[in-house]
Chain A
């Protein structure tokens, strides 16, 4: 007889290894990192137990209780209580504990028991607990709690074998009739009583060595030093942005020459005509000019992943709490904002951990100002075309310094916008509390870093292959048709639709120093920021005709003034050139209004910043 699908749910305190366990069980690659609040969504996966039982398992955001204080915790509460519409309540709850830190989980477990759901307590990270000399009397613990207990090591091969065996054993004799759910929000005295009870049970069943993790203490002595810590944080960010510019160069050169060779091959082998133009100008100059930036994208992700896995993120939030507080931001906003350096979309999702509505909204509104990795191609292209690659003060690369300046401008503007929001909207309000667990440091795991980078690189290439490619086809078409009348002497592109559209928009953008080619590139650039680079590549390649094999950067250096280039950089710091970000803002705020506000304020800032930059630069003689 085929047994029905068994529904499992992973519940536990933040950072206890639920997602690691989920990945181990289902072979998925959901995001794992060493700070509380990584998972903010419900994710379902499937696997088959050793006995052949089909299982659906749901990974949930971490929580300390079922009260649901922030959007991510509400997801967990609603799922466990079966409040989510159209959801089945889980048949078996896996309560996942960090074995080095049982107090809070056992209290949570005592609360979960009231829901009447069958449960297993999973003592995860048992490797770390054993290494620290923590011993747990598993049988006694199970007896005292009235819940089966099993140990696990989610990140080790075979580390979940016992859990699988126990799941089989228990699911075979699960009662089918629904149990009483007597859960309701605990009063303060009940909470206190459950924590006392938890502490008593732990005292009976767990022996803790006196010494805490000495490595964490030593590193924190430096990293959390009031002054030294901030210096370390600045250094990390500085090295990160320098590296993105300097270290990626060799790999980028290699890719660039690869695409050049490909372009020449196409030119040499195909007869001159539309097909040759499409492949060379549309595909290779367009999509190729974006793929060249893969090494930089990988580097920035590598840095962020390392910081996340090591356990630094929560420390950075600690250091920045009061400093960001001056600008009206909550300390918890730091992690979402830092992840926005990779991409604003996960950054905006990560604001779900912020419980105060205003704090969360402010963070969402400013997250798109953080320099996301899609801006890197635009910045790099313009910087390498216009800023000389010399060293200043002997060791700092000037191009890298300008890059750092652009990142810094993004950050400062975000803080300024937040300050304005605080000033106008939130006059008198006591800051919402900042309470965050600082996890012990962990050695970043090679495998998870590799998977993280692989996933991001794949996403980037997929985007290049889909969004960017289709935009390029469009641009190429607009720039190639209608074809010039026979015997005309002007560049073919002057007769095209692209030129018509660009020239119609040009007067609007002339005050900020943009020509019609830029105007054409900005429109498809709404789909994704990198598209602008590809679009410029195609437009100039078609315009350039025969000499189109030239590098897009060199073309820009001859076609644009320095003032135009700087104005374009200023534009890209602010402009809301990303449709997906706007869509996520709409979803997360549940309102078109806030999306509109974001779009408008960013557009206004972009125009103003470009106008200022262009005119100042022209006045200084860079026109």
Chain B
């Protein structure tokens, strides 16, 4: 099995499957459609450690719509909904 470069192209964390590991490329709050304003969402994500360069891994998913997801960010685990995770662009 070869790891094509395609799977390494940029994608939102909100679309990734359980077991996915990657590195945060940038935040794109506009894409998330969250109830929060773009600035507020971005601020909160940064405050929880979602900054460029951080390693992320999806550890667990919920039952309904495989949502929310439990994400390992460096050495802590954060639960977020996929809607907000759409703002986290990873590769």
Chain A interface residues (CB < 8 Å from chain B): 64-65, 67, 69, 100-101, 103-104, 107, 186, 188, 191-192, 195-196, 199, 208, 212, 216-217, 220, 224-227, 229-230, 314, 317-319, 321-323, 325-326, 331, 356, 429-438
Q: Chain A residues near B63 (CB, 8 Å)?
A: 226-227, 229-230, 319, 322-323
Output the least CB separation between B18 and chain A (Å).
9
One of B34, B46, B70, B76 near A433 (C-beta < 8 A):
B34
Q: A433-B41, A435-B48 are in contact. Are A224 and B60 (CB under 8 A)?
A: yes
B28-68 contacts to A (CB < 8 Å): 33-36, 39-44, 46-49, 51-53, 59-68
B77 touches A437 (CB 8 A): yes
Cβ contact within 8 Å between A437 and B36: no
Q: Compute how far the CA of A217 lies from the CA of B77 in the bound complex, rounded to whole angstroms.
A: 10
Please state if A433 and B80 are interface contacts (CB–CB under 8 Å). Answer: yes
A317 to B68, CA, bound (A): 10
Q: Which 4 A-B pairs have the closest CB atoms?
A: A322-B64, A430-B35, A224-B60, A64-B47
Contacts A103-B49, A220-B60, A224-B60 given; indicate if A321 touches B33 (C-beta within 8 A).
no
- Chain A residues contacting B83 (CB-CB under 8 Å) are 430-431, 433
10 examples of A-B residue contacts, CB within 8 angstroms = A107-B47, A196-B51, A224-B70, A226-B61, A321-B79, A322-B64, A322-B67, A323-B64, A436-B79, A437-B77
Complex contact B60–A195 (CB within 8 A)? no
A220-B59, A220-B60, A226-B62 given; A104·B47 CB < 8 A: yes
B32 and chain A: residue at smallest CB distance: A433
Q: Are B49 and A430 in contact (CB under 8 A)?
A: no
CB distance from A330 to the nearest CB of B (A): 11
Q: Are B35 and A432 touching (Cβ within 8 A)?
A: yes
Complex CA–CA separation, A322 to B80 (angstroms) = 11
Supposing A226-B62, A322-B62 touch, asked if A435 and B70 sit within 8 A by C-beta, the answer is no
Tell me the complex Cα distance, A449–B53, Å: 41
Q: Size band of the B side of the interface?
A: 35 or more
Chain A neighbourhood of B75, CB < 8 A:
100-101, 103, 208, 212
User: Considering the chains assembled together, what is the distance between the CA atoms of A356 and B34 in angstroms?
Assistant: 13
- Residue B78 interfacial (CB < 8 Å): yes
Q: Is the CB of A191 within 8 A of B70?
A: no
Q: Within the assembled complex, what's the spacing in Å between the Cα atoms of A199 and B78?
A: 18
In the complex with contacts A436-B78, A438-B79, A104-B51 CB distance below 8 A: no
Inter-chain contacts of B74 with A (CB < 8 A): 103
The residue in chain A whose Cβ has the minimal distance to the Cβ of B38 is: A188
Q: Does B72 count as interface, using CB distance less than 8 angstroms?
A: yes
Interchain CA distance A105-B48 in the complex, whole Å: 10
Hey, which chain A residues are within 8 Å of B66, CB to CB? 226
Complex contacts, A326 vs chain B, CB 8 Å = 64
Q: Does B10 contact A (CB under 8 A)?
A: no
A192 pairs with B46, CB closer than 8 A: yes
B39 CB contacts on chain A under 8 angstroms: 188
Name the residue of chain B whose CB is nearest to the CB of A186: B43
Cα distance A429–B33 when bound, in Å? 11
Contact of A435 among B52, B59, B62, B79 (CB under 8 A): B79
Q: Which residues of B contact A319 (CB under 8 A)?
A: 62-63
Determine the distance from Cα of A148 to Cα of B83 in the docked complex, in whole angstroms. Answer: 41
Of B41, B43, B62, B80, which contacts A191 at CB under 8 A? B43
**A186 CA to B41 CA, complexed, in Å:** 14
Residue among A188, A321, A326, A429 with max Cβ neighbours from chain B (10 Å): A188
